[in-house]
Amino acid sequence: MTGSLGHVETQRVVLASPDDPLRLRGGGRLDHVEVAYETYGELSPARDNAVFICHALTGDAHAAGLHVGSKKRGWWDNLIGPGKPVDTDQFFVISANLLGGCSGTTGPLSTDPATGAPYCLGFPMLHMSDLVAVHRRLVAHLGIERLHAAVGGSLGGMQVLQWVIDGPGALDRAVLVAASSRLSAENIAFSAIGREAIMSDPDFCNGRYVEQGVFPWRGQKVARMMAHVTYVSAQSLETKFGHRRRSRGDAWTLAPDYEVEHYLQHQGQVFLDRFDALSYLYLTRLLDYFDPFADPGTAEALRSTATRFQLTSFDSDWRFDSTQSARMAAQLEELGVAVDWAELASPHGHDSFLLQPQGYHERIAEFLG
Amino acid sequence: MTGSLGHVETQRVVLASPDDPLRLRGGGRLDHVEVAYETYGELSPARDNAVFICHALTGDAHAAGLHVGSKKRGWWDNLIGPGKPVDTDQFFVISANLLGGCSGTTGPLSTDPATGAPYCLGFPMLHMSDLVAVHRRLVAHLGIERLHAAVGGSLGGMQVLQWVIDGPGALDRAVLVAASSRLSAENIAFSAIGREAIMSDPDFCNGRYVEQGVFPWRGQKVARMMAHVTYVSAQSLETKFGHRRRSRGDAWTLAPDYEVEHYLQHQGQVFLDRFDALSYLYLTRLLDYFDPFADPGTAEALRSTATRFQLTSFDSDWRFDSTQSARMAAQLEELGVAVDWAELASPHGHDSFLLQPQGYHERIAEFLG
């Protein structure tokens, strides 16, 4: 029977220390890495039923269920739970905040042990491999040798691909939704404009806004409003808002008036409460640089893997369009990797991966089952 | 023989005064309206060969030829000139800056005669009809009763539609390129985000930046970078820039690195020198509110017109996509208006109207001829 998880808790664990630092792919190291994570379901005695959830750019560890005192369910609650496609009656589900994030895992606002102050722009540039390395440490910490699956959408799907490259024996099944192995120029362009908005905000203070007691809210709001438009489809905006205004009569104004404007204002505003500007810079930038098939070791690693891939893209997703999944599928196939790619119909653009377009959840359930 | 115009000059004329104010569609009036314009070619003795060029959002009166001391040809120089589709050997061509603009025609930075200071946000909200009214005054001032044609792309095309509605006998031929009679929700969204970037810039100073000796360059740069991406196609960005970086080696940075980022930085930067933030606000907002078929008088006006319409859209234009031209063509046809609409193939997105995709210039030449 399908149900929803009840109360869940975010836990924290320290996974790197001066004695066991996290050495970064681009050089440098982190002497202290803390990770925020949640688990749902029970680990089997054989420790072979673990499914790792990889979140998207602005996600967090709270993927399913409810925190005590909150009515807001986790961001992938429709996918994860008893009897759901990622079935917590069957799987031990792990969801962790990313390195570089701002929801409990070490990131740019964490304290640099070397200075006692926040890293800010002193935080090292991250490679997708660094994010994977931290989550592999978490998996090991939980006593798991091999994952049944890793499941991720958008950035999360890209992390799943890196996970297999860095550990060809680390998982049985890789589920990538609305992902890419190399961003398009247009995709990079939108991220770059968002970063420009944040970094040119006077309250960015060269990254030291926390110490100044300010926040580059103007820039981050604009970045989010723009990103949001790219995460949905023109059709979905048209259906939802059309040309409808909130004000009545003939009085025209430069202030928000059309319903779509009020909606974007709201989206921009709520984002300020839940995300940090430096994390936004670091994690978007990591996506731009993600290009694993350009790495010499990638082909060899993938040729050796027994991991089976499932790729899903959506026909109205123009930020991570289907051609990118198609290209990735072809590259994997060429290396002898088992891959099943499908483009599903959905009017909701990139955000489709968070929703339930027809055939999507069924497809994941079948692949994991 | 096809050639290019030589030196041209921008002229100015005062077209509204306290005795003959411009009464605005939304109420209020302007007691002083000056217009910057250029003309190319010779007016025929019968005064029946005039073609009016309507510029897009950030255009100006300098549509063709060269200003003395400059090497930069007018923005539509490929279309206008001796032997070109808008043939200056045949037509008397008029190109004027829009009301609300910042290139010589009265706009928000002009002096309000009532206060002796710039209007700033005290400038009235403009209706497309107000822009047409000013240009109709210019046509009358030049001693022309009826235009052979009005030709416009994007906002310019929308102005041409309003021109026919406001003066069903004012022109013989209406050429609308990459235009719309009602913006999509997504189109409004992008403009709204650009305005948010400008108005939330601390140097916007509630519109009084000129008096403060500052300029909201951060916000305007972000607005332009974003708008630029929407004026081109994903394919054209991919072809031009792909995943190419300017820096070599492995050093990653939050600063611009990919070629597409440098390109957008440049586009944002040069825009600051040539356009004003308040004009950007007023003219984008006017587009949002443009919805002539919702006006009760529009059908009657169009039923009575003998003006022939030519509509052209481009298959890769996603900011003003072809469905908008198709809808407009259907609405015109339903009213018995002669309309020829074609969607042309072009990889260059909305900016195609400034370029020469196959069949485009030929089509305009034939229609005007």
CA angle A160, A165, A169 (to 5 degrees): 90
Which residues numbered 97-136 in A keep a CB inside 8 Å of some CB on B? Answer: 121, 125
Per-residue pLDDT at B1: 57
In terms of Cα–Cα distance, which of A300, A293, A224 is closest to A263?
A224
| Nearest CB partner across the interface for A226, out of B193, B242, B253 | B193
Give the ranges where A200-250 is alpha helix by DSSP (H).
209-212, 217-231, 234-241
Q: Is the pTM of this model over 0.95?
A: yes
**Beta carbons within 10 angstroms of residue A304's beta carbon:** 13
Nearest-CA distance A10 → chain B (Å) = 31
Is B250 a residue whose pLDDT tops 80? no
Residues of A within 8 A of B264 (CB-CB) are: 189, 192-193
Per-residue pLDDT at B364: 98
CB A209 within 8 A of CB A215: yes
Summarised one tens digit per residue, pLDDT across range A65-86 is 999 999 999 999 999 999 999 9
Q: Does A293 touch chain B (CB under 8 A)?
A: no
- Mean pLDDT, chain A, whole residue set: 97
Phi, psi of A220 (to 5 degrees): -70, -35
Q: Does B242 touch chain A (CB under 8 A)?
A: yes
**Beta carbons within 10 angstroms of residue B323's beta carbon:** 14
Per-residue pLDDT at A4: 86
Summarised one tens digit per residue, pLDDT across range A151-168 is 999 999 999 999 999 999
Summarised one tens digit per residue, pLDDT across range A81-108 is 999 999 999 999 999 999 999 999 999 9
Q: Do B264 and A193 touch (CB under 8 A)?
A: yes
Same fold, A11-183+290-368 and A187-284: no
Quote the ipTM score.
Answer: 0.96
CA angle B96, B97, B103 (to 5 degrees): 135
How many residue pairs from chains A and B have C-beta atoms closer than 8 A? 148
In terms of Cα–Cα distance, which of B14, B348, B352, B336 is closest to B157?
B352
For residues A102-130, average pLDDT: 97
Summarised one tens digit per residue, pLDDT across range A209-236 is 999 999 999 999 999 999 999 999 999 9
CB B178 within 8 A of CB B320: yes
Distance separating alpha carbons of residues B160 and B156, to the nearest angstrom: 6
CATH number for domain B11-184+289-368, candidates 3.40.50.170, 3.40.50.1820, 3.30.70.580, 3.30.360.10: 3.40.50.1820
Topology, domain B187-284 = Rna Polymerase Sigma Factor; Chain: A (1.10.1740)
pLDDT band at B248 (very low <50, low <70, confident <90, very high): confident
**What are the extents of the domains in chain A?**
11-183+290-368, 187-284
Helix H or strand E encompassing B264: helix B259-274
Question: Mutation test of the interface with chain B: which of A24, A188, A206, choosing the one with the most B Cβ atoms within 10 A?
Answer: A188
| Nearest CB partner across the interface for B182, out of A195, A243, A253 | A243
Per-residue pLDDT at A247: 87
Label each residue of A236-297 as H, E or C: HHHHHHCCCECCCCCCCCCCCCEHHHHHHHHHHHHHHHHCCHHHHHHHHHHHHHCCHHHCHH
Per-residue pLDDT at B251: 81
- Is B103 one of the catalytic residues? no
Is A1 a residue whose pLDDT tops 60? no
CATH number for domain A11-183+290-368, candidates 3.40.50.1820, 3.30.2290.10, 3.40.50.700, 2.60.40.10: 3.40.50.1820
| Nearest CB partner across the interface for A258, out of B188, B219, B222 | B188
Give the chain A residue whose CA is nearest to the CA of B239.
A185
CB B314 within 8 A of CB B349: yes
Is A246 a residue whose pLDDT tops 80? yes
| Nearest CB partner across the interface for A254, out of B195, B258, B260 | B195
pLDDT band at B262 (very low <50, low <70, confident <90, very high): very high
- Is A130 one of the catalytic residues? no
- Is B228 one of the catalytic residues? no
Q: How far is CA B245 from the centre of its chain?
A: 34
Q: Which two tokens stand for residue B105?
A: 């025609």
Question: Which residues, in sequence order, are bridge partners of residue A7?
Answer: A66
Residues of A within 8 A of B288 (CB-CB) are: 257-258
Q: Do B229 and A291 touch (CB under 8 A)?
A: no
Q: Does B200 touch chain A (CB under 8 A)?
A: yes
For residues A321-326, average pLDDT: 97
Summarised one tens digit per residue, pLDDT across range B276-307 is 999 999 999 999 999 999 999 999 999 999 99
Which residues numbered 253-292 in B keep a CB inside 8 Å of some CB on A? Answer: 253-254, 256-258, 260-261, 264-265, 268, 281-282, 285, 288-289, 291
pLDDT band at A2 (very low <50, low <70, confident <90, very high): confident
Q: Does B158 touch chain A (CB under 8 A)?
A: no
- Give me the percent of chain B exceeding a pLDDT of 90: 96
